Amino acid sequence: MGQPIDDTAVNALFRDARTYTKWQPRPVAEQTLRDLYDLLKWAPTSANGAPARFAFLQSKEAKERLRPALAPLNVAKTMSAPVTVIVAYDLRFYEQLPKLFPHSPGMAKMFGSNPELVETTAKRNSSLQGAYLIVAARALGLDCGPMSGFDNKKVDEEFFAAGKPCFGCDQEFFPEGHVKSNFLCNLGYGDPGALHPRLPRLLFSEACSIL
C-alpha cells in the first residue's frame, strides 16, 4: 500500500501486454477462470453493484453457438482461442444491492424506478469490469483479445434469451432475458510470433490536462 508495484509486474500488466489474435495450443484450466473472477470481483463498481456477468465459452459446442454472431474478421481468432468470454451486464443488477450495499436500503428502489439510470450504470460498470478482467487475466499469466466486432442482438438471443441455460450460475438471471452482451474477450496463451509491431499511443499532452 502506498508503494508502486515492481516494474516486472507493471510491464506484464501494461507495457509488454498485447492484444492477441493467435494462440498457443495450451488449454486454460477451469480453475484459472475461477481464479480470474475471484480477482476481478474486488475492483470497484458504482454502489458496489457489480452489474457485469461473464459467460466463459470453452466447449466446442458453445463456440459454435457464438460463430454466427461474429464479424468475419473475428471468426478465426475466436474459434481458435481456448476461451471466449462474453462480458455482459444484468439490467436487474440492483436486485442484488440489499446484499452488496446493505447500508443504503433506498438504493435498489431508486434504480427500480429509473430504467435509464439502470442502463447507464450497468453499461458503464460492466465496461469497467471487462477492463478489470483484462488486467486480472494478465496478472494470472493469460493473454487477451477483446472484441466488439459481433452482433450483440444475436449473442443476446442465443445466450441470454428466455429459457436458455444459465452456465451454472446460482442465480436465475440468465433465463429471463435481462442480460445484455457488452463485448467479447478471447483468453488463452498468445502466440507472440503473430504480433504486429505495437501501435502508437497518444502523448500525455494530447490526451490529458492537469487543471
Ligand X SMILES: Cc1cc2nc3c(=O)[nH]c(=O)nc-3n(C[C@H](O)[C@H](O)[C@H](O)COP(=O)(O)O)c2cc1C
Residues near ligand X (CB under 6 A) are 18-19, 74, 146-149, 183, 198-199
Eight-state DSSP code of residue 141? T
Tell me the closest approach of the beta carbon of residue 198 to ligand X, in angstroms: 5
Residue nearest to ligand X (CB): 149
Buried b vs exposed e over 14-52: b needs ≥16 C-beta within 10 Å?
Answer: eeebebbbbbeeeebeeebbebbeebbeeeebbbebbbb
Q: Between residues 199 and 203, which has the closer beta carbon with respect to ligand X? A: 199
Q: Between residues 143 and 158, which has the closer beta carbon with respect to ligand X? A: 143
Q: Between residues 62 and 138, which has the closer beta carbon with respect to ligand X? A: 138
Q: Between residues 9 and 194, which has the closer beta carbon with respect to ligand X? A: 194
Tell me the closest approach of the beta carbon of residue 103 to ligand X, in angstroms: 34
Q: Between residues 111 and 183, which has the closer beta carbon with respect to ligand X? A: 183
Tell me the closest approach of the beta carbon of residue 2 to ligand X, in angstroms: 29
Tell me the closest approach of the beta carbon of residue 121 to ligand X, in angstroms: 19
Task: Report DSSP letters for 143-165, one per residue.
Answer: EEEEE--B-HHHHHHHHHSTT--
Cα separation, 98 vs 89, whole angstroms = 18
Residues 6+ apart with CB under 8 A from 136: 36, 39, 40, 43
Q: Between residues 60 and 196, which has the closer beta carbon with respect to ligand X? A: 196
Tell me the closest approach of the beta carbon of residue 207 to ligand X, in angstroms: 15
Half-sphere exposure of 25 (CA within 13 A, CB side): 0
Tell me the closest approach of the beta carbon of residue 206 to ligand X, in angstroms: 17
Whole-angstrom CA distances from 152 to 76, 132, 145, 167, 187 are: 18, 21, 17, 18, 19
For residue 13, the one-letter residue type is L
Give the residue among 100, 165, 87 at the shortest CA–CA distance from 130. 87
78 within 8 A of 62, measured Cβ to Cβ = no
